Chains A and B, each alone.
Chain A
Amino acid sequence: MTAIPHPLPGVHGHDEAHGAHAHGHEELGFLKKYIFSADHKIIGIQFLFMGLFFMIVGGLLAMLIRWQLAWPDATLTPGHPVPILGKLMGWSNGYMPPDFYTMVFSMHATIMIFFVIIPLLVGTFGNYLIPLKIGAGDMAFPFLNGLAFWSALPPGSIMLTGFMLAGGAAAAGWTSYPPLSALSENAGVGAFAANFLRIEGSTWPTAAVVMNFIAMFLFCAYMCAYYVHLGPKVVNVVASIILSVLGAVVLERGVQHVAWDGQSCWFLSLFWLGFSSLMGAVNYLTTIIKLRCPGMTMFRLPLSVWSLFITSVLVLLATPVLASVLMMNLLEHQHIGASIAGSNARFASFFTPYNWFDQGVGFTGAGQNSGGGYVLLHQHLFWFYSHPAVYIMILPAMGMVSDIMAVFARKPIFGYRPMVYAMAGIAFLGFIVWAHHMFQSGMNPTLGTTFAVSTIFIAVPSAIKTFNWLGTLWGGNIRFTTAMWNAIAFVAMFVIGGLSGIFMASTAIDVHIHDTYFIVAHIHYVLFGGSMFGIWGAIYFWYPKMFGRMMNETLGKIHFWLSFIFFNGTFFAMHILGISGFPRRIASYLGYETYAHYQPMNEFISICAFALGLSQIFFVINFIGSWFFGPKAPSNPWEATTLEWNDTTSPPPHGNFAKVPVVHHGPYEYSNPLVEEDWLPQTRYVEGQENFRPAH
Chain B
Amino acid sequence: MSETILEHGYVPEEHAPDPVMGHGDPTPPGKVAIWLFLASEVMFFIGLLATYIIFRSGSPKIFAEHAQALNKTLAGINTLVLIFSSLTMALAVDAAQKGLRGRLIACLSLTILCACGFMGIKFAEYKNKLTHHTVVTHESGKIFVYDGHLIDRAADGFKVEGFRAEMPNDGGPFDIHWMSAKGVEELAKGAAEKEWEIKNATISQDITYGPWKNVFYACYFTTTGVHGLHVLGGIIALSMLLAHALRGKVLAPHTEYIGLYWHFVDLVWIFLFPLLYLI
Tell me, yes or no, whether A and B come into direct contact in the complex with CB atoms closer than 8 A: yes
Any B CB within 8 A of the CB of A210: no
Any B CB within 8 A of the CB of A229: yes
Distance (whole angstroms) from the CB of A468 to the closest CB of chain B: 27
Task: Tell which of B20, B59, B130, B221 touches A8, judged by Cβ atoms closer than 8 Å.
Answer: B20
Q: Cβ of B18 and Cβ of A11 under 8 Å apart?
A: yes
Residue of A nearest to B24 (CB): A8
Any B CB within 8 A of the CB of A137: yes
A11 neighbours in B (Cβ, 8 Å): 18-20
Q: Cβ of B4 and Cβ of A282 under 8 Å apart?
A: no
Interface magnitude class on chain B:
35 or more
Q: Cβ of A380 and Cβ of B33 under 8 Å apart?
A: no
Task: Tell which of A135, A227, A289, A328 touches B32, judged by Cβ atoms closer than 8 Å.
Answer: A289
Residue of B nearest to A351 (CB): B51
Q: Cβ of A136 and Cβ of B18 under 8 Å apart?
A: yes
Using known A-B contacts A143-B5, A143-B12, determine if residue A348 contacts B18 with beta carbons closer than 8 Å.
no
Any B CB within 8 A of the CB of A694: no
Any B CB within 8 A of the CB of A346: yes
Pick from B38-46, B88-96, B261-269 the stretch touching chain A. Answer: B38-46
Q: Cβ of A347 and Cβ of B11 under 8 Å apart?
A: no
Distance (whole angstroms) from the CB of B2 to the closest CB of chain A: 7
Q: Cβ of A142 and Cβ of B12 under 8 Å apart?
A: yes
Any A CB within 8 A of the CB of B192: no
Any A CB within 8 A of the CB of B14: yes
Q: Which of B1-35 contact A (CB under 8 A)?
A: 1-5, 10-23, 27-29, 32-33
Q: Cβ of A317 and Cβ of B39 under 8 Å apart?
A: yes
Q: Cβ of A370 and Cβ of B36 under 8 Å apart?
A: no
Any A CB within 8 A of the CB of B244: no
Interface 0/1 of A7-29, CB less than 8 Å to B: 01011011000100100110110
Any A CB within 8 A of the CB of B50: yes
B59 neighbours in A (Cβ, 8 Å): 372
CA A225 to CA B175, docked complex, whole Å: 55
Interface 0/1 of B193-226, CB less than 8 Å to A: 0000000000001111011111101100110001
Any A CB within 8 A of the CB of B54: yes
A13 neighbours in B (Cβ, 8 Å): 19
Residue of A nearest to B46 (CB): A321
A591 neighbours in B (Cβ, 8 Å): none
B55 neighbours in A (Cβ, 8 Å): 372, 374
Q: Which of A17-66 contact B (CB under 8 A)?
A: 18, 21, 24-25, 27-28, 32, 38-39
A8 neighbours in B (Cβ, 8 Å): 20
Q: Cβ of B36 and Cβ of A316 under 8 Å apart?
A: yes
Using known A-B contacts A142-B12, A143-B5, A292-B23, determine if residue A381 contacts B32 with beta carbons closer than 8 Å.
no
CA A348 to CA B216, docked complex, whole Å: 10
CA A293 to CA B18, docked complex, whole Å: 8
Residue of B nearest to A225 (CB): B1
Any B CB within 8 A of the CB of A140: yes
Residue of B nearest to A382 (CB): B47
Q: Cβ of A282 and Cβ of B14 under 8 Å apart?
A: no
CA A340 to CA B48, docked complex, whole Å: 25
Using known A-B contacts A291-B20, A342-B133, A380-B50, determine if residue A321 contacts B43 with beta carbons closer than 8 Å.
yes
Q: Cβ of A38 and Cβ of B18 under 8 Å apart?
A: no
Q: Cβ of A140 and Cβ of B40 under 8 Å apart?
A: no
Interface 0/1 of A208-236, CB less than 8 Å to B: 00000000000000000011010000000
Distance (whole angstroms) from the CB of A663 to the closest CB of chain B: 11
B46 neighbours in A (Cβ, 8 Å): 321, 324
Distance (whole angstroms) from the CB of A150 to the closest CB of chain B: 15
Distance (whole angstroms) from the CB of A644 to the closest CB of chain B: 15
Using known A-B contacts A21-B14, A143-B5, A286-B33, determine if residue A320 contacts B44 with beta carbons closer than 8 Å.
yes
Distance (whole angstroms) from the CB of B262 to the closest CB of chain A: 18
Distance (whole angstroms) from the CB of B47 to the closest CB of chain A: 3
Any A CB within 8 A of the CB of B272: no
Distance (whole angstroms) from the CB of B252 to the closest CB of chain A: 18
Any B CB within 8 A of the CB of A476: no
Distance (whole angstroms) from the CB of B134 to the closest CB of chain A: 9
CA A229 to CA B21, docked complex, whole Å: 29
A304 neighbours in B (Cβ, 8 Å): none
Distance (whole angstroms) from the CB of B276 to the closest CB of chain A: 15
19 new A-B pairs (CB below 8 Å) besides A8-B20, A137-B17?
A11-B20, A24-B12, A38-B15, A140-B11, A141-B5, A226-B12, A287-B17, A287-B29, A316-B40, A317-B40, A323-B47, A327-B226, A331-B222, A341-B212, A342-B206, A342-B207, A372-B214, A380-B50, A381-B47
26 A-B pairs with CB atoms under 8 Å apart are A10-B19, A21-B13, A24-B13, A28-B1, A137-B16, A140-B33, A142-B15, A143-B5, A143-B11, A227-B4, A229-B4, A290-B21, A290-B22, A290-B27, A292-B20, A319-B40, A324-B45, A325-B47, A331-B211, A336-B210, A343-B205, A349-B214, A370-B215, A372-B177, A374-B54, A380-B50
4 closest cross-chain pairs (CB), A and B: A324-B47, A24-B14, A342-B206, A320-B44
Chain A residues within 8 Å of B, Cβ to Cβ? 8, 10-11, 13-14, 18, 21, 24-25, 27-28, 32, 38-39, 131, 135-143, 226-227, 229, 278, 281-283, 285-287, 289-294, 297, 316-321, 323-325, 327-328, 331, 336, 340-343, 345-350, 354, 369-374, 377, 380-381, 384, 654-655, 660
